Amino acid sequence: MRFSPTRLESVLLIEPTVHRDGRGFFLETYKGKDFLEAGIPLSFVQDNHTKSKGGTLRGLHAQLRKAQGKLVRVTQGEIFDVAVDARPDSPTFGKWEGHKLSGDNFLQLYIPRGFLHGFCVLSPTAEVEYRCTDYYDAKDEIGVAWNDPYLKIQWPIPNPLLSEKDKGLRTFAEMGKDFESYRGLK
């Protein structure tokens, strides 16, 4: 397994070793000691699985007081996965990073606590699995508009399908003081 740093501090792109033969493939998607050696010391407590149709955009989401680190992978289809640094004391605060993850390329993205996360579906459908370092709490959930003018995320789809909740999210600037709870997170 290869762990590659990205432009955002603590965000890692993970490329597992895929063993292929005439029957198909085998790979390890998670091995605790390898992740620990790569600087990911947190344990995962919840796994989520979502299926979305093409053109769907989910995000940008996070939890405020129960911040979650996420390990994201795609089992079927292709997505453009985005992490936004919301840690006020980080040198990459307000910066974003996007990567294509697919069931064919097996890439995973580790997004630490203190980041917003979202993705859009590039294939007819996509199934995404992500492991979280804290439990989901609907009362603690926050979000930022996908098309925030400050972030200027270059989404590869112009008119995404959004949930009603995601249509009403605030801007990054409006969330400013809320992000103070992320100060000091790594």
Looking up tokens 């400050």 gives 150
Other CB atoms within 10 Å distance of the CB of residue 13: 17
Q: Is residue 61 among the annotated active site residues? A: yes
Q: Which of 99, 117, 130, 182 is catalytic?
A: 130
Q: Which of 49, 61, 135, 150 is catalytic?
A: 61
Q: Is residue 130 among the annotated active site residues? A: yes
- Which of 19-55 are b and which e, b meaning 16 or more Cβ less than 10 Å from the residue's Cβ? eeeeeeeeeeeeeeeebeebebebebeeeeeeebebe
DSSP β-bridge partners for residue 162: none
Residues marked active site are found at 61, 130
